[in-house]
Structure 1
Amino acid sequence: MNNELLEKYNRPVPRYTSYPPANFFTESFTEANYREALTASNDWEPQNISLYFHIPFCRKMCFFCGCNSFPMKNDETVKRYMEAVKKEVEMVKQHLVPGRKVSQIHYGGGTPNAIPVHYLEELNQLLFDSFSFIENPEIAIECNPAHLDEESVRRLKGAGFRRFSIGIQDFDIEVLKAVNRDPSQLPVDELIQLLKDGDEPVDVNLDFIYGLPNQTVDSFISAIERAIAMKPDRLVTFSYAHVPWVKKSQKRLEVIGLPSNEDKIAMFDRASELLIDSGYHAIGLDHFALANDELTIAHKERSLHRNFQGYCTRRTTGQVYAFGVSGISQLEQVYAQNSKSINDYMQQVEKGHLPIAKGYQLNDNERIVREVVTEVMCNRHVRWDDMAERCRVSEDAVRSAVAYEETKLTELQTDGLIHFDNEKVNVTEAGNMFIRNVAATFDPLMGGDNESKFSKPV
């Protein structure tokens, strides 16, 4: 990736975990709108249910984090919060018809495993008692390895969790100190073995961030080499998103100093090459999975999907019903976000209200654009006849919805980021680094002041 292309394409663009992005949500969308959407969602596709739980508490606040999280001060607040989450589940369930099956459960944060494990055991049991499930659902939790020991691992597995995303971020103690994060409590290779032991199959993801203070290209590659030797099922290399206008704590990292864009490119390029040479397959923008992984198979079949929880397969794809502070539900025609204030969230639920702060109703064209953007981000490929069939409209209607401009695609092709013809668009290997830019080409909402609200790809 030469400096000219880096300069040209390293501009703010959405991450496209949703379309339209969350900054387009509006406060005119109310609790009443959400209740109507919940009932209507029973007739929308997909019929499967995905459940997301936001556990916002952290024992220690990492300076790089852009998530909605809160310091865990006392158990009374945690207890009150988890009771509110369970009550919210009961309120939402009243709107869902019996028989719809749960295909995915995901706990994110914050740090889900920062709280006493019995809260997670109790919530999962409520879900198992309240819903039907598909065969082999994905039940996943994000974990900070600083809070995992033999007892908590045993109990989390006993609670039904079958995928663990372990936030390593980096093995280098100086990097972790710079971002205010504690290292793994157990040696990571021993932790993976502990998770894998037993009769029930468990998948392990190791998550890393590149672009942090005190990282160099060589030090980051050393971390990836060390991780590869442990053979996790998936390995994720997230680009650090520097948005200090959103998260003021990130300003502290500027004082220490951040790697250059050129070094970040080198970290990604060399890590990608190393992972692929070691038998991992590149999935979407930043995931790498072993050959027998569901994501790898789905990617080869061009049936990969994506939501706020990350990449998933069509088998586990469901409409997302989110619970907890700031949780975003992703229904087929509606997005709805809970209050970002933990006190307001608990008070609203305790009063019997669904704590909706804002949301968005997609129109027909936006649903077409969402399909195209998701296909680009997941499968690096768009066939216009496939999009027309999937959206049940003509190819011309698809092109019109995405404001198709051949001149823009020609420029991307000239720069080596895509190949295209009248039938399809394929993202190249070189274009994968800037796949968000490619997706933005099909986004009529991009441009003007909107760009300032997003992070840069690198």
Structure 2
Amino acid sequence: MELDFAKFTKYSKPGPRYTSYPTALEFKDDFLYDDYIKKLESQDSSRPLSLYFHLPFCKNACYFCGCNVVFTSKEDKMLRYMDYLKRELAILSKHLDMNREVIQMHFGGGTPTFFSAEQLDEIITEIKKYFPNFADDAEISCEIDPRHINEDQMKVMAGHGFNRVSFGIQDFNEKVQQAVHRIQPYNVTKDAMDLARKYNMHSVNVDLIYGLPFQTLDTFKETLDLALTLNPDRFAVFNYAHVPWLKKTMRKIDETTLPRPDEKLAIMQYTIDFLTSNGYKMIGMDHFAKPDDELFKAIEKGELHRNFQGYTTKGGADLIGVGLTSIGEGVDYYAQNFKDMPSYEAAIDAGKLPFERGVMLSDDDMIRQYVIMELMSNFKLDIKRFESLFDVEFKVYFEDALRELEVFAAEDLISVSDEHIECSETGTLLIRNIAMPFDAYMQQHAGSSKTFSKTV
């Protein structure tokens, strides 16, 4: 793939990653607790469930991290959190049909494996007490810091049916690791990978980040070479989102050491060429998978889905978020828990779910959500299918958006017909930009440079 760097850098501007639509910026206080409870209690019991559990603790800060974490090494804080998770599940069981089929569960963080094997066993056992109906083919996954995993922990997860793990690498270069405060030698990651294979994790993902301090094309080539020797099933290669106005730890990064946009583009182009030449296929934004992976099969059929847990084949489920800062998603709403521990605990102490805010989707939101998520997931939109689902004339409803897309069509980044919008291979790299014209909320954020990360 040959990229015109001058062409691409002109598209570099703040834009959402669209793990949701509307984005979390639109979550408001006027979506009330009682509104959320009504939504939970009225959910269609025939729809399956996807569960997300946030385990927020980390021992030290990684300066690049955008996650909601709590830094601690104190055992009592972790035990306390486990108690509140159990109490949250008990309250949830009063408002949700817990016997619905669970087709997906994900542990995120923080560092979920900061909890010991015994603690993880206790947490998972409690979850399965409340949610007894896991599908035989449920995707059960966990984010893992290779520096914090041992055989006892992996054995517990395997025993409870975990079948997918994601290892954070970011970069193997020592200078880069020092700059982002995450020292992780190759052999540590290799040992973690060997454990995952020993305990038959069906899918192993590794995460890399480009755009970090002191990265160059040459140093990232070395990281890719080393990562390939691990033979993961999937790669996630993220563009670093530098948002120091949101994340205080990012202020510790010297911005003068960050690679320029043209260097980042060179890294991105090389990464795509390297991984595709080594048997991986580009799946969605930032992701690569082997051709026999279920994600690749799903995108070939146009059935890939996107939610707060990333790309998945498990569509049509209601997402229930449990734990500090977790986000849930229903057919027509998003709901987020409190982000700070005192508020989270106070709500549960009062016998309530730790819900803080959310958003009820309008008909327009749901129409735009469908279009944006189809583009973000499958790089194309079936216009006729859209019109049959929503009973609106696409080109009339989105007249303004289609006008904005003309510049992408003129540069062969997309093709637009009466039946499809489809990204070219090069256009997939600008999928966030291509989705943005369909976002009704972008105009109100247009003047701010401190809202979203850069798209390039």
Same fold, judged at TM 0.5 (above) = yes
Deviation track 1:40-89 (CA, whole Å, cap 9, x = no partner) reads 2236xx81100001111101111111111110141111111111112112
TM-score by length of 1: 0.94
Q: Is the contact made by 2:220 and 2:267 (CA closer than 8 Å) also made in structure 1? A: yes
Q: Compared with structure 1, are the counterparts of its residues 356 and 254 closer, same or farther at alpha carbon in structure 2 (3 Å cutoff)? A: same
Q: Is the contact made by 1:31 and 1:355 (CA closer than 8 Å) also made in structure 2? A: no
The answer to whether structure 1 residue 421 and structure 2 residue 417 are counterparts is yes
Deviation track 1:185-208 (CA, whole Å, cap 9, x = no partner) reads 85433432221124x443211111
Q: Compared with structure 1, are the counterparts of its residues 185 and 405 closer, same or farther at alpha carbon in structure 2 (3 Å cutoff)? A: closer
- After TM superposition, give the deviation of residue 263 of structure 1 in Å: 0.8
2:157 equivalent in structure 1: 156
1:110 equivalent in structure 2: 110
2:436 to 434, 440, 448: 440
Within a 5 Å distance, the mapping from 1:374-389 to structure 2 comes to 374-389=373-388
- 3-state SS, counterpart of residue 41 of structure 1: coil
- 3-state SS, counterpart of residue 43 of structure 2: helix
Tell me, in whole angstroms, the C-alpha distance in 2 between the residues paired with 1:299 and 1:30. 37
Q: Compared with structure 1, are the counterparts of its residues 403 and 341 closer, same or farther at alpha carbon in structure 2 (3 Å cutoff)? A: farther
Q: Is the contact made by 1:149 and 1:185 (CA closer than 8 Å) also made in structure 2? A: no
Q: Is the contact made by 1:196 and 1:203 (CA closer than 8 Å) also made in structure 2? A: no
Within a 5 Å distance, the mapping from 1:272-291 to structure 2 comes to 272-291=272-291
Tell me, in whole angstroms, the C-alpha distance in 1 between the residues paired with 2:95 and 2:44. 8
2:35 equivalent in structure 1: 33
- After TM superposition, give the deviation of residue 401 of structure 1 in Å: 5.0
Q: Is the contact made by 1:337 and 1:356 (CA closer than 8 Å) also made in structure 2? A: yes
Tell me, in whole angstroms, the C-alpha distance in 2 between the residues paired with 1:405 and 1:130. 45
- After TM superposition, give the deviation of residue 386 of structure 1 in Å: 1.1
Tell me, in whole angstroms, the C-alpha distance in 2 between the residues paired with 1:225 and 1:381. 32
Tell me, in whole angstroms, the C-alpha distance in 1 between the residues paired with 2:390 and 2:147. 51
- 3-state SS, counterpart of residue 438 of structure 2: coil
- 3-state SS, counterpart of residue 254 of structure 2: helix
Tell me, in whole angstroms, the C-alpha distance in 2 between the residues paired with 1:455 and 1:306. 19
- After TM superposition, give the deviation of residue 10 of structure 1 in Å: 0.6
Within a 5 Å distance, the mapping from 1:298-313 to structure 2 comes to 298-313=298-313
- After TM superposition, give the deviation of residue 430 of structure 1 in Å: 1.0
1:123 equivalent in structure 2: 123
Deviation track 1:250-284 (CA, whole Å, cap 9, x = no partner) reads 12212561011111111111011111111111110
Q: Compared with structure 1, are the counterparts of its residues 258 and 133 closer, same or farther at alpha carbon in structure 2 (3 Å cutoff)? A: same
Letter of the 1:225 partner, please give it.
D
Deviation track 1:113-138 (CA, whole Å, cap 9, x = no partner) reads 12223222112112223220122111
1:358 equivalent in structure 2: 357
Q: Which runs of 4+ in 1 moved over 4 A?
A: 398-404
- 3-state SS, counterpart of residue 430 of structure 2: helix
Tell me, in whole angstroms, the C-alpha distance in 1 between the residues paired with 2:255 and 2:410. 39
Within a 5 Å distance, the mapping from 1:333-412 to structure 2 comes to 333-389=332-388, 392-396=389-393, 398-399=394-395, 401-402=397-398, 404-412=400-408
2:246 equivalent in structure 1: 246
Q: Is the contact made by 1:403 and 1:443 (CA closer than 8 Å) also made in structure 2? A: no
- 3-state SS, counterpart of residue 299 of structure 2: helix
The answer to whether structure 1 residue 234 and structure 2 residue 231 are counterparts is no
Letter of the 2:454 partner, please give it.
K
Q: Is the contact made by 1:62 and 1:181 (CA closer than 8 Å) also made in structure 2? A: yes
Tell me, in whole angstroms, the C-alpha distance in 2 between the residues paired with 1:400 and 1:93. 45
Percent of aligned pairs with the same residue? 35
TM-score by length of 2: 0.94
Tell me, in whole angstroms, the C-alpha distance in 2 between the residues paired with 1:269 and 1:93. 48
**Total equivalences in the alignment:** 451
Letter of the 1:384 partner, please give it.
I
Letter of the 2:41 partner, please give it.
T
1:449 to 433, 445, 450: 445
Q: Is the contact made by 2:15 and 2:436 (CA closer than 8 Å) also made in structure 1? A: yes
Q: Is the contact made by 2:367 and 2:390 (CA closer than 8 Å) also made in structure 1? A: no
2:182 equivalent in structure 1: 181
- After TM superposition, give the deviation of residue 290 of structure 1 in Å: 0.9
Q: Is the contact made by 2:335 and 2:355 (CA closer than 8 Å) also made in structure 1? A: yes
Of 238-247 and 85-94, deviating more is 85-94
Q: Compared with structure 1, are the counterparts of its residues 290 and 31 closer, same or farther at alpha carbon in structure 2 (3 Å cutoff)? A: same
Q: Compared with structure 1, are the counterparts of its residues 402 and 21 closer, same or farther at alpha carbon in structure 2 (3 Å cutoff)? A: farther
Tell me, in whole angstroms, the C-alpha distance in 1 between the residues paired with 2:304 and 2:267. 25
Q: Compared with structure 1, are the counterparts of its residues 85 and 186 closer, same or farther at alpha carbon in structure 2 (3 Å cutoff)? A: farther
- 3-state SS, counterpart of residue 31 of structure 2: coil
Q: Is the contact made by 1:369 and 1:402 (CA closer than 8 Å) also made in structure 2? A: no
Letter of the 2:14 partner, please give it.
P
- 3-state SS, counterpart of residue 9 of structure 1: coil
Tell me, in whole angstroms, the C-alpha distance in 2 between the residues paired with 1:255 and 1:404. 37
- After TM superposition, give the deviation of residue 92 of structure 1 in Å: 1.5
Q: Is the contact made by 1:39 and 1:95 (CA closer than 8 Å) also made in structure 2? A: yes
Q: Is the contact made by 2:47 and 2:318 (CA closer than 8 Å) also made in structure 1? A: yes
Structure 2: 5+ residue runs without aligned partners?
none
Q: Compared with structure 1, are the counterparts of its residues 210 and 317 closer, same or farther at alpha carbon in structure 2 (3 Å cutoff)? A: farther
RMSD: 1.8
The answer to whether structure 1 residue 170 and structure 2 residue 168 are counterparts is no
Tell me, in whole angstroms, the C-alpha distance in 2 between the residues paired with 1:331 and 1:360. 11
Q: Is the contact made by 1:42 and 1:96 (CA closer than 8 Å) also made in structure 2? A: no
2:96 equivalent in structure 1: 96
